[in-house]
Amino acid sequence: MNRGRINWGKLAARLVIVGYLAFVVLPLIWLLLMSLKGPLDVMALPPKIIFKPTLENYRRLFLGTQRSQYEVARTDFPRALLNTVIVAGGATVLSLVTGVLAAYAFARFHFAGKESLAFTILSLRFAPALATLIPTYALYRRIGLYNTHIGLILISQVISMPLLIWVVRSYIESIPIECEQAALVDGYSWWGAFRIVVLPLASPGIAATSVLAFVFCWNNFIFGLFLAARQTQTLVVATLAFISYEQVLWGQMAAASVMTVIPAMAFIFMVQRWLVRGLTFGAVKA
Amino acid sequence: MLHTPLSDTGRPAPSFVLGGWGKLNSEGRRQMAEGKHGNGVRQSKQPRRRWVQRNLAYCLIAPAFLIPLALSLVGVLGNYYSLTDYDIRYGIRDYIGLANYVRAFTKDRMLWQTVWFIVRFTIIVLVAEISLGFTIALALSTVSQRLSRLARTAMMGPLCIAPVIAALMWKIAMGPVQGILNHVLVMVGLPAVNWLGDPRIAPYAVALIDVWIYTPFVVLVLNGGLQSLPRAPYEAAMLDGASAWFAFKKLTLPLLRPFLLIAVLFRACDSLNVFDIIYASTKGGPERVTTSLAGWASENAFRWYQLGYGAALVTILYIIVYAVSRRLLRLMTAGGLSE
């Protein structure tokens, strides 16, 4: 009909999106390139688009810096990576094992105080992290959980538990209840119905939510900053430590950032379809 | 949701209350009551089993609740600490009542400054993120599927990067001399800006970092909302000859209201609590203009060892966030989004 005429609205929309994409993506590309540059190129202005890429920064990150023939400056990075895997993984598994059953109870049972209990859990998401962190610090110092993986895993429940319970609840609620009723009429107990009907149907959602919980714990900064010392330092804190008083190791810092981002990004891409519901705690069911 | 009536005691009335009982046909329900199948009632001869079954829901949430409950109790412990002179070096020496709060409200000039900062910061990022996010989400709904998918994939970047890392990245880019941002500005003939070093600009620079990190969240939420809009009202409006602007104002905005509120709720609470990105970018400077209340509390608690006073400051922050989120949640339920 109006072929030949330029659709200005569409064109404007396309321009807006392309402009916004540049704003979003360019810094990330810049960071990635920075991690591949040698010490001379890294801060050169104008930034070198064409340079000799090197993996030196990554090598130093994992193997340490060769100072002289026999002396190697140690690197904390591999340990921080391991710490973060343990803490984020442990926190996710703990929330998963306990949270899915709770989500099931919230979705399918009626009991006194249900909504207020659910909202108590949700309020952990919106409360300042310091509200739990400050007393936890005092407590951990006293009972010896300061600077331990267990301590970090337990406090990380603030992040992973509300997410898991609320999102999995919304997934279970979207499964038609008739399926379970059929199983119950067939003589299964609630556990049987849960196992053969609910779990298989909700498992994609549960998996996606666990991945999201893992990434949130992975990215968390404040707990690792105040509740861990060198032995249990997390990745994000370790990355920040590349800015020291004497010098800033730009290249290594960029490499550490990339190493921190890549697992999170890989995971998030896997669950892209379920992301919106996860991010909004089941409130938006797109 | 289905409803099973609660008994007078507030306990679930039937012994085995699955939400769906109400919908079971009467035959099934009779069988259930007679214990003809499953272990629903048959096993209830053993008293312990029966207790478990009656309180099944509580038993199921108990393990998951143990941890949040412990954390809530820890929060209460924090409230108690705020009434003491807890010092990391000496421990609790005295119960001092509301002295910490009195000190905060009367002597601590930084309290007002930090509250003013988080309020201003929240308003700036909310306005920027919601308007930008809304624009992008609307634009996404008009362009081709391919571009839309590409854009949504690219927006995963800021969403999954740790906020601290993102802030660090921007801090490097915003460097006054070596920063790439200033280089670009000078290249196009604009004066260089001392992004994070100038007290007049730093709050906006930090807000810009926040906008980069969190606008994709707003876009995804609103995009989800736009995709879930019903078709029929728009067709009716078109038949009636309504303009696009009219349809937007009278249909899209009210229908999107719950989604907008969700985005506002999440973003408002997170930016009132802001700590990470400020710690990584400015550490509260220059001249303390970007110190947030959370940052000020952590500084008191951990750098100057005044844990009790830090706990009091966090309690004040908690009350602010609670009031805001309560208000937004009320708006949301009033708007008909009860889930």
Are A275 and B220 inside 8 Å of each other by CB?
yes
Tell me the residues of chain A between 64 and 93 that have a Cβ less than 8 Å away from chain B: none
Prediction pTM value: 0.85
As beta bridge partners, residue A270 has none
At what angle are helices B56-81 and A129-143 packed, to 10 degrees?
90
Question: Architecture of A77-280 per CATH?
Answer: Orthogonal Bundle (1.10)
pLDDT of residue B207: 96
Tokens of A60: 């130093």
Q: Once rounded to an integer, what is the mean pLDDT over residues A163-190?
A: 89
Give the model confidence (pLDDT) of A199-216 as tens digits. 999 998 999 999 999 999
Q: Once rounded to an integer, what is the mean pLDDT over residues A161-176?
A: 91
Q: Once rounded to an integer, what is the mean pLDDT over residues A153-170?
A: 91
Tokens of A1: 């009909």
Spell out the alpha helix ranges (H) of chain A: 8-35, 56-63, 77-108, 114-126, 129-143, 149-173, 177-185, 190-193, 199-219, 222-227, 235-240, 250-270, 275-279
Identify the CATH assignment for B100-333 out of 1.20.120.1200, 3.10.530.10, 1.10.3720.10, 3.40.50.2300: 1.10.3720.10
With vertex at residue A245, the alpha carbon angle to CA A240 and CA A250, rounded to the nearest 5 degrees, is 50
User: Sorting pLDDT into bands at 50, 70 and 90, what band is A275?
Assistant: confident
Q: Once rounded to an integer, what is the mean pLDDT over residues A14-23?
A: 93
pLDDT of residue A3: 54
Tell me the residues of chain A between 223 and 282 that have a Cβ less than 8 Å away from chain B: 225-226, 236, 239-240, 243, 250, 253, 257, 260-261, 264-265, 267-269, 272, 275-276, 279-280, 282
Q: CA-nearest residue of chain B to A126? A: B269
The residue extents of the domains of chain B are: 15-81, 100-333
pLDDT of residue B178: 78
- C-alpha gyration radius of chain B: 27
User: Of all helices (H) and strands (E), which one includes residue A65?
Assistant: strand A65-66
Query: In chain A, pLDDT over 70 holds for what percent of residues?
Result: 93
User: Sorting pLDDT into bands at 50, 70 and 90, what band is A71?
Assistant: low
pLDDT of residue A131 exceeding 60: yes
Q: Once rounded to an integer, what is the mean pLDDT over residues A51-74?
A: 76
Q: Once rounded to an integer, what is the mean pLDDT over residues A139-160?
A: 92
Cα distances (Å, whole numbers) of residue A70 to A56, A62, A65, A67, A79: 19, 17, 11, 8, 22
pLDDT of residue A172 exceeding 60: yes
DSSP-assigned letters across all residues of B216-273: HHHHHHHHHHHHT--SHHHHHHHHTT--HHHHIIIIIHHHHHHHHHHHHHHHHHHHHT
* B277 CB-near residues (< 8 Å, 6+ apart): B163, B164, B166, B167, B206, B209, B210, B213
Q: Print pLDDT tens along chain B (339 aa).
A: 333 333 333 334 333 444 444 333 334 444 444 444 444 444 445 666 677 777 777 777 777 677 777 877 888 888 888 888 888 888 888 888 888 999 989 999 999 999 999 999 999 999 999 999 999 999 998 888 899 989 988 888 898 899 999 999 999 888 888 788 888 888 888 888 888 888 999 999 999 999 999 999 999 999 988 988 888 888 888 888 888 888 888 888 888 998 999 999 999 999 999 999 999 999 887 889 999 999 999 999 999 999 999 999 999 999 999 999 989 888 877 754 444
Work out the minimum CA distance from B146 to partner chain A, whole angstroms. Answer: 12
pLDDT of residue B219: 94
Cα distances (Å, whole numbers) of residue A2 to A71, B139, B239: 74, 21, 20
Q: Please, is A243 exposed, middle or buried when counting C-beta atoms within 10 Å of its C-beta (0-12, 13-18, 19+)?
A: middle
